[in-house]
């Protein structure tokens, strides 16, 4: 049977943690007298924690010293992790669990490729940590998407060539990273935002019934 490397982004693909990031960033912004909107939160999807705080400070035209910066990062993450505690299997985005189960039955290699440093505890809360043969997260990479480092590392860990990889992503930067690496890019979200992807679906439930089979034969 043909084998492909199936690589999943976390936030926005497997689970919707963007709403938790939003609450935590909003509280942090208000502690600095910065107004932070949902539209701005959209722009932080797939962006690292450090870079996110830098952007919020830029938007709010505020400067803080290094020590306060570090404190604010810790404060944000602690609040975020409290919300992550409430997650369970019900929070896996529609269709993802069945998609993973089907891949497992076909013995297809599965990896996570995420910017989050909290990827492992989140997957554990969702009860699907052991479904991933490899995990590359924000603790493993030095270059952020659209740099393809995260997905190339995932292929290395799976022992698969990058031309055999299929990436599922909700962010533009993530789709670009997959394309740069010559991987098949599948966008999850709105066509108008993800037009650079090879194909776009609103959710895993919108994929055709034989989609995994189609992907096994698909080339870039
Ligand atoms: P953490 P993804 C990204 O996850 C989120 O989309 C982004 O909003 C967040 O800032 C980033 O992870 C870092 O997360 O603070 O948990 O390290 O979409 O790459 O799975
Ligand atoms: Mg994402």
- Decide: 72 in ligand 1 pocket, CB within 6 A: no
Cis peptide before 78 (omega within 30 of 0): no
pLDDT means per 10 residues in the chain (220 residues)?
96 96 97 95 91 97 98 98 98 98 98 97 98 97 94 98 97 95 97 95 97 95
pTM: 0.95
Ligand number with the minimum distance to the CA of 112: 1
Distance CA 97, CA 74 (A): 31
| Fold assignment, 5-16+88-216 | Rossmann fold (3.40.50)
Q: Where are the domains of the chain?
A: 5-16+88-216, 18-84
Output the residue whose Cα is nearest ligand 1's atom 16: 116
Q: Counting atoms of ligand 1 from 1, which one is nearest the CA of 174? A: 19
Q: Please tell me whether residue 99 adopts helix, strand or coil conformation.
A: helix
Ligand nearest to the CA of 146: 1
First to last CA, the chain: 19
Chain segment 58-109, per-residue pLDDT in tens: 999 999 999 999 999 999 999 999 999 999 999 999 999 999 999 999 999 9
Question: Regarding the domain delimited by 18-84, which CATH topology (the fold level of the hierarchy) does it fall under?
Answer: DNA polymerase; domain 1 (1.10.150)
Q: How far is CA 50 from CA 14, 47, 131, 202, in A?
A: 23, 8, 29, 29
Pocket of ligand 1 contains residue 3 by CB under 6 Å? no
The finding on whether 115 has its CB within 6 A of some atom of ligand 1 is yes
């Amino acid at each position: 049977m043909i084998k492909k490397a199936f690589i999943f982004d976390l936030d926005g693909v497997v689970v919707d943690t963007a709403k938790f990031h939003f609450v935590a960033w909003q509280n942090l912004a208000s502690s600095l007298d910065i107004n932070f909107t949902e539209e701005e939160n959209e722009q932080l999807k797939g962006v690292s924690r450090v870079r996110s705080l830098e952007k919020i400070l830029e938007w709010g035209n505020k400067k803080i010293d290094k020590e306060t910066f570090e404190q604010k990062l810790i404060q944000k993450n602690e609040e975020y992790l409290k919300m992550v505690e409430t997650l369970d299997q019900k929070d896996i985005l529609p269709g993802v669990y069945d998609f993973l189960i089907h891949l497992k039955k076909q013995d297809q290699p599965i990896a996570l490729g995420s910017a989050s440093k909290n990827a492992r505890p989140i997957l554990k809360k969702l009860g699907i940590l052991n479904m991933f043969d490899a995990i590359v997260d924000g603790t493993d990479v030095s270059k952020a998407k659209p740099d393809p480092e995260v997905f190339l590392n995932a292929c290395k860990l799976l022992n698969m060539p990058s031309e055999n990889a299929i990436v599922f992503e909700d962010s533009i930067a993530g789709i670009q990273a997959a394309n740069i690496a010559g991987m098949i890019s599948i966008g999850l979200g709105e066509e108008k935002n993800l037009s650079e992807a090879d194909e776009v679906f609103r959710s895993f439930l919108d994929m055709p019934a034989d989609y995994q089979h189609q992907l096994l034969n698909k080339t870039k």
